[in-house]
Amino acid sequence: MALKLEKTHRESQTAEIANQIAGILQEIKFGSVEIIIHESKVVQIERKEKLRFDTKK
């Protein structure tokens, strides 16, 4: 029973991480997304966004 609960929890965490990444990718226009993994687990997601201004007007 504990093994099944652990797998279900891990699957929900994976889905949440995937949703977070998808949301970031939909919002970002210029920049990068870095996913930090430690011991086969996502521990951090970094979003670096560039703001560009057109000064040639």
Does residue 56 belong to any structural domain of this protein? Answer: no
The residue segments making up the domain with residue 16 are 2-49
Tens of pLDDT, residue by residue over 3-18, are: 666 668 788 899 999 9
Backbone φ, ψ for residue 5 (5° rounding)? -65, -40
- Asked if residue 1 has pLDDT above 60, the reply is no
Q: Which residues contact 44 (CB under 8 A, 6 or more apart)?
A: 35, 36
Token pair of 15 as six digits: 């889905």
Mean pLDDT value across residues 23-47 = 95
Q: Which residues contact 12 (CB under 8 A, 6 or more apart)?
A: none
Does residue 57 belong to any structural domain of this protein? Answer: no
Q: How many domains does the chain have?
A: 1
pTM here is 0.70
Does residue 13 belong to any structural domain of this protein? Answer: yes
Coil vs helix vs strand at 6: helix
Does residue 55 belong to any structural domain of this protein? Answer: no
Does residue 33 belong to any structural domain of this protein? Answer: yes
C-alpha count within 13 angstroms, C-beta hemisphere, residue 15: 6
